[in-house]
Amino acid sequence: MKLKPGNSSSHDEVSIFSSTLQIQGNIITKGNIRIDGKIRGDIKADGIITIGPHGYIEGNISAKNVTIGGKVLGSVTSTEKLVLEDKSQLKGDLTAKILVVEEGAIFIGKSDMNFQAETKIESAKP
């Protein structure tokens, strides 16, 4: 199916959670999400998750790309790129193919840069 001009696929759409919003529960989306509010629960997106400078997350995050500008207490898994912006705080383990940590970011946890979610390792045959 071809999209007409002006239409967008669900992966191009962005769901925005403003700074006045507080949620307790898990969030799952096929698109992109920006969070400036407070969420207690896990967040999973097929696209991009952006935590704004006032965003606060208590839970695990999983997405293709993740940018953190606020505070996250929980594990973060990014199948592509994870960015910790200059005033961000991440207290939890992270897994990503690409990790960018800006000067001033705080990270307390373990990192795994050998992410192989889509790669199968075959053993050598004798």
- Tens digits of per-residue pLDDT, 76-98? 999 999 999 999 999 999 999 99
- Residue 115: closest CA among 81, 90, 68, 72: 81
Length of the chain: 126
Through-space distance between the first and last CA atoms of the chain, rounded to whole angstroms = 47
Of the candidates 54, 16, 55, 23, the one whose C-alpha atom is nearest the C-alpha of residue 40 is 23
**Annotated domain spans of the chain:** 14-107
The pLDDT tens digits for 25-71 are 999 999 999 999 999 999 999 999 999 999 999 999 999 999 999 99
